[in-house]
Amino acid sequence: PTGSLARGLAACEASCGGERRKLFFCEVEQWDSDEPIPREDLEQGMAGAHGLLCLLSDRIDKKLLDAAGANLKVISTMSVGVDHLALDEIKKRGIRVGYTPGVLTDATAELAVSLLLTTCRRLPEAIEEVKNGGWTSWKPLWMCGHGLSQSTVGIVGLGRIGQAIARRLKPFGVQRFLYTGRQPRPQEAAEFQAEFVSTPELAAESDFIVVACSLTPATRGLCNKDFFQWMKKTAVFINISRGEVVDQDDLYQALAGGQIAAAGLDVTTPEPLPTNHPLLSLRNCVILPHIGSATHRTRNVMSVLAADNLLAGLRGEPMPSELKL
């Protein structure tokens, strides 16, 4: 049955390396580790493969596609983001692509709100004060942060995840939602009475900014020195999209110089972030290890969908979720 076959395939990080087994009509080579497959092993294992199930940590470029050869007809990625895939090269070769949008929306939106609250209310700092003896008595202004009630929230990218974030923030008493993107989305924005504005206007007027856009040539480096200079000194910046959307050197300068109040990041460049990175030295910067979709249910559903996409592609059937190239 497809379900049990999908569960077997979903354990694969890529269709190469390690254990080999026969599952109905296809043979699977599994990289049997939580750590990413070494590039050399991936290239060797791809030779002659018809399908690939990969993660966002696997860079699927021209060199790898050349190593795979003409047999490769489907790539299934266990992610909604596809910036790790050389889409132009993949399209040129007529290879189909499956991905996993929608199923991780709720988990990622929950994480975004959690990160925002953690950052704006300075929870990591407060926890550390309890542990190191800094908590001596109740003080009127000690550990004060910023609240959501009557605030303006700016969302960069009002797609599925951006809308889900706004939906969760609305009950906190947010007074005004702003959003920016490639074009206005009046139908989606109506639920929150969200206003479509320019990027400078969003940066300047928002008390909280949540970046939830896709990584594209237009958004790469979008949040840079100019962006942070437009922001209020009391504003909090959150990024749950991709690390490359943010110029991290500029973000560090903005945080260290008091140009903005705080930042929370679930994504960085590179990943993992080196433990000696300057951002990690700042008390007003909260960094998580890219755990937006990290709930047991979400990761299980993503795995099964990725496997079903791969199997459908191998059979030449419609995929449950295909990226149209």
User: Which positions are annotated as active-site residues?
Assistant: 290
51-54 vs 96-98, strand pairing mode: unpaired
Residue linked to tokens 């459908």:
312
Q: What angle do CA 188, 194, 200 make, to 5 degrees?
A: 120
Phi, psi of 146 (to 5 degrees): -125, 135
Of 241, 206, 246, 207, whose CA–CA distance to 223 is shortest? 246
Rounded Cα distance between 119 and 217, Å, is: 28
Beta carbons of 116 and 264 less than 8 angstroms apart: yes
Residues 45 and 40: their CA atoms lie apart, in Å, by 9
Angle (CA) 163-167-172 rounded to 5° is: 140
